[in-house]
Structure 1
Amino acid sequence: MSETDASDGPPVFEDAFASDDVEQRIYSIILQTREPTPTSAIADSADCDPKTARKYLGWFDDLGIVTRHDGHPATYERNDAYFEWRRINQLAADHSVEELQDHVRELTTRITEYEATYDAASPATVDAVAAADGSDELTIDAVYSDLADWATAREERDRYERARQQRTGGEREQASG
């Protein structure tokens, strides 16, 4: 591969956010942080001074984007509840009540089909190996794929339903106001 080919490709993963400002780099690190991480490690990953990282992490904590765990040293991790709330608000803003209801119906139909196919109330109760062994049509990979899709459909239905309720609650408040 020539030097121009290498430079035309995507940046090396470690350098993917190098051109972003420090706030964006810290935010990007937080998006990937699934366990409590010390400020110094976040600062190292974001290539900034720990004092700067602490300032932005404090701000992100105030906004609810991260969860701060007190201790020596204090640690931070992504606040999944914030991102879930943000996703639901975005769904409510981007879709009408009718669109949200239609999506809830479509997901409910898909979930009901999985319940009938696997004779189970949830994907967690299905023994994937037994389901594949007992079927002439399903491979173990197909069963695992179905179970993952089923679990995702249940989570998405919950999000869309919460967004629908948010929209209908907001519309009721506007109508009565």
Structure 2
Amino acid sequence: MAETDAADGPPPFENAFSGDDVEQRIYGTILQTREPTTASAIADSADCDPKTARKYLGWFDELGIVTRYDGHPATYERNDAYFEWRRINQLAADQSVEDLQDHVRELTTRITEYETTYDAASPAAVDAVAAAEDSDERTIDAIYSDLGDWATAREERDRYERARQQLTDGEREQASG
């Protein structure tokens, strides 16, 4: 890779937010956090003062972006429900009811194909090792890939359906109001 390519590309992962302001660095650190973490550890990752991290984490807690757990010291964790809610609202804002319905239909078709292929109601009901042993065509890696795609399709269908319902309910309210 040429030196200019490296300079124009994204920053190294461990320093992904170095060019952002402190709020963005803390937010970026929260996005990567998968378990309750102290403000000091978040400050270390965001390269800022712990007092500054606590200030922004308090604000993020009020907004619902993080969950604060009391203790000595207090810890903070990304609030996945907030990001789910935000994704659904964005889908409802960006797409029409018809587009959302089309996505739900496409995902339902894909899910039904997996249910038929694996003779199961959900990916959790499939024993991947046994399915690979019973198949002349599918490797265990292909089966695990299918199961991951199937689970993702189910989650996405739920999001699109919730966005569709939100948009439909909003249109009903406007029509009656």
Could you say whether these structures have the same fold, taking a TM-score greater than 0.5 normalized by the shorter chain as the test?
yes
The equivalent of 1:11 in structure 2 is: 11
Query: Which residue of 2 is the match for residue 132 of structure 1?
Result: 132
* Paired residues for 1:19-168 under 5 Å: 19-168=19-168
Q: Say if 1:172 and 1:10 are closer, same or farther in 2 by CA, change over 3 A.
A: closer
How far off its partner does 1:129 sit? 1.0
Q: In structure 1, what is the Cα distance between the partners aligned to 2:172 and 2:93? A: 16
**Paired amino acid for 1:117:** T
Q: Distance in 2 between matches of 1:3 and 1:71?
A: 47
C-alpha distance in 2 between matches for 1:87 and 1:8: 30
Distance in 2, Cα, partners of 1:65 & 1:26:
12
Q: 1: distance between equivalents of 2:170 and 2:176?
A: 10
**Counterpart code for 1:15:** N
1:86 is paired with a residue whose SS is: helix
Deviation, structure 1 residue 5: 6.6
Counterpart secondary structure, 1:67: strand
| Deviation of 1:8 (Å) | 5.2
Q: Matched residues in 2 for 1:144 and 1:5: separation?
A: 35
The 3 A distance-change label for structure 1 pair 157 and 3 is: closer
Q: Relative to structure 1, is the Cα distance of residues 108 and 9 closer, same or farther in structure 2, using a 3 angstrom cutoff?
A: closer
In structure 2, the gaps of 5 or more residues are: none
Tell me how far 1:51 sits from its aligned partner: 0.8
Q: Alignment partner of 1:35: what SS?
A: coil
Ranges in structure 1 where 5+ consecutive residues have no aligned partner: none
SS of structure 2 residue aligned to 1:101: helix
TM-superposed CA distance for 1:135, in Å, is 1.3
SS in 2 for 1:42: helix
Letter in 2 for 1:126: V
Between 1:133-142 and 1:112-121, the stretch displaced more is 133-142
Instruction: Give 1:89 shift.
Output: 0.3
Q: For residues 84 and 62 of structure 2, what CA distance do their matches in structure 1 show?
A: 17
How many residue pairs match? The answer is 177
Post-superposition Cα deviations, 1:37-96, rounded to whole Å, max 9, x if no partner, equal 001111111111111111000000000000000000000010000000000000001110
Which residue type is aligned with residue 83 of structure 1? F
- Of all paired residues, the percent bearing the same amino acid is 87
